[in-house]
Structure 1
Amino acid sequence: MDNLINLKVMSYNIRHGKGLDGKVSLRRIAEVITKTQSDVVALQGVDRFMPRSGFRDQLKKLAKQLGMHACFSPSINLIMIQYGNAILSHYPIISKDIQYIGGSKERRSVLIVKLQINECVVTIVNTHLGAHMSERIKQNSVLWSVLEKLEQPTILAGDFNMEMHDSFMKRLSSRWKKITPQNNLPTMENGTEIDHIFVNMSIEQATAKVIPYDASDHYPVIAEIRW
């Protein structure tokens, strides 16, 4: 029993901190993460030095405020100006890999990191797929090839821009176990569920929930996983 690992993982598209009131506030995002006491946070929609978010390095600011390790994969990379996915972790990040999967308006990516959790190495995968089906069809094939190469234990999180009835999500759930939120809430304020957390290993226990906050147009999904 001493070898069991307990991990609280969040997936959250922060929309560069733009809340439902139209105002950009990174403080609200930090408060959400703090309140949930998540160990690992997979963020999508993170700005670095973008005009719309006050030219701030949002990841650096969050990491410093929360006291977490951090890494980033840019979907938009214009010298200093960046936008993309990030992972925050209370555990040391021992490696990072980025697989670019293309896209029509922005170059989407899969961010893969390995964490050292006590004696165990755990892989965390974070992605944000395209908003249009035509680009997701191409991205899905690349994502699938990435996922097929991953060893256990791996946790996959992200904004898939797809609900579970989509054919790719059905295929994914045949190989990966979704940690389904018990409170059965949508992950966006518009009523859709497009943010998901999956695992590829046998688990002792897992629960998840969606918590509605107004800090973004997405709601964070938090999974507590024990294996």
Structure 2
Amino acid sequence: MRLATFNVLHGRSIDDGIVDQKRFVESVATIDADLLALQEVDRLQPRSGSLDLTTLAAEATGAVAHRFVAAVVGTPGESYRPLAFDDDGADQPNYGIGLVSRYPVRSWRTVRLSPSPVPGPIYALGPGGRGRPMLLRDEPRVLLVAVVETPMGLLTVGATHLSFVPGWNLWQLRRVVRVMRSMPAPRLLLGDLNLPAGPASVGSGWRPLGRLATFPSSAPRVQLDHVLADPRGWGRRPWDATASTPAVAVSDHRPLVIDLPLQ
């Protein structure tokens, strides 16, 4: 079973700054994941050609289930507002996360995570991979959890994109763990946690299934993207998984791909 998490940078290439539908679809198809968590996902955004990126990813992988959950209505970095309720702004530009599955999903759950009250540092990459540090106001975050009918049985899979503000992301991570532990085991968390490998593992108490740098995509130096397994509730532990970070044509992150043996 192949798992993957991918911060897609709304489908944009850092080489030319363009969002190209064919290039995005080919990148997702290359990953070829059975369960795929997506972050920085656009829906109906002018900057990405009003595409529904989660639906495109589902079509590219032959998924039987998928869901997009908006974190904000509007465009981050420009003008946006938090959602007032889950179907708020359905016909407006949205930005959030997605989860795509080749397996049937028995149930979905959405949990909203409040933004940091203070801005935080980010390293913004531009065309050609050149970047600069800047302070940015945090935005609301969201956790999407699915109970999935996989070949290894029911599996609770969480997808999220945590704050870039140091400390606040750890607070969010601990809340994510509490929420997911109220759901059936075994449990996996996929996402851009905006934390290096050590703090992500220690802060959650969960086991990383892959330790590979994912950012920046041109020459990865740090792991921000993770697949974590809750050690509680595994009949057999998935520690023999293999990990890779293939180079694809979009985003300033590389996808983290985990191949998990079924037996």
TM-score range, shorter chain: 0.7 to 0.9
1:10 and 2:4 aligned: yes
Unaligned 5+ residue runs, structure 2?
75-88, 117-137
- Tell me if the contact between 2:35 and 2:101 (Cα under 8 Å) persists in the aligned partners: yes
Report the AA paired with residue 250 of structure 2: A
Deviation at 1:27? 2.4
- Tell me if the contact between 2:109 and 2:146 (Cα under 8 Å) persists in the aligned partners: yes
Deviation at 1:118? 4.2
Specify the alignment match of 1:179 in structure 2: 209
Deviation at 1:119? 7.2
Deviation at 1:75? 0.7
Give the count of matched residue pairs. Answer: 216
1:149 and 2:182 aligned: yes
Deviation at 1:63? 2.1
Distance 1:137 1:178, change over 3 A: closer
Deviations for 1:137-177, whole angstroms, at most 9, x for unmatched residues?
A: 442342232133243222211000010233x53232xx321
More deviation, 132-141/52-61: 132-141
Deviations for 1:98-156, whole angstroms, at most 9, x for unmatched residues?
A: 11111143210111001112472111111100111253244234223213324322221
Q: Percent identity?
A: 25
Report the AA paired with residue 99 of structure 2: I
The equivalences for 1:50-199 within 5 A come to 50-68=45-63, 69-77=65-73, 79=89, 80-104=92-116, 105-118=138-151, 120-166=153-199, 169-172=201-204, 175-181=205-211, 184-189=212-217, 191-199=221-229
SS in 2 for 1:205: coil
Partners of 1:153 and 1:75 lie apart in 2 by 26
What's the TM-score, normalizing by structure 1?
A: 0.86
SS in 2 for 1:106: coil
Partners of 2:142 and 2:185 lie apart in 1 by 21
Partners of 2:194 and 2:24 lie apart in 1 by 21
- Tell me if the contact between 1:96 and 1:114 (Cα under 8 Å) persists in the aligned partners: yes
Partners of 1:140 and 1:198 lie apart in 2 by 11
- Tell me if the contact between 1:187 and 1:221 (Cα under 8 Å) persists in the aligned partners: no
After superposing on structure 2, the runs of 4+ consecutive aligned residues of structure 1 that deviate more than 3 Å are 184-187
Unaligned 5+ residue runs, structure 1?
1-6
Partners of 2:44 and 2:164 lie apart in 1 by 23
Report the AA paired with residue 221 of structure 1: L
Return the match for 2:21 from 9, 22, 26: 26
Report the AA paired with residue 57 of structure 1: D
SS in 2 for 1:88: strand
More deviation, 28-37/153-162: 28-37
Partners of 1:76 and 1:208 lie apart in 2 by 32
Deviation at 1:205? 2.8
Partners of 2:210 and 2:57 lie apart in 1 by 27
Deviation at 1:18? 0.8
Partners of 2:256 and 2:222 lie apart in 1 by 13
Distance 1:147 1:66, change over 3 A: closer
- Tell me if the contact between 2:70 and 2:96 (Cα under 8 Å) persists in the aligned partners: yes
Report the AA paired with residue 46 of structure 2: P
What's the TM-score, normalizing by structure 2?
A: 0.75
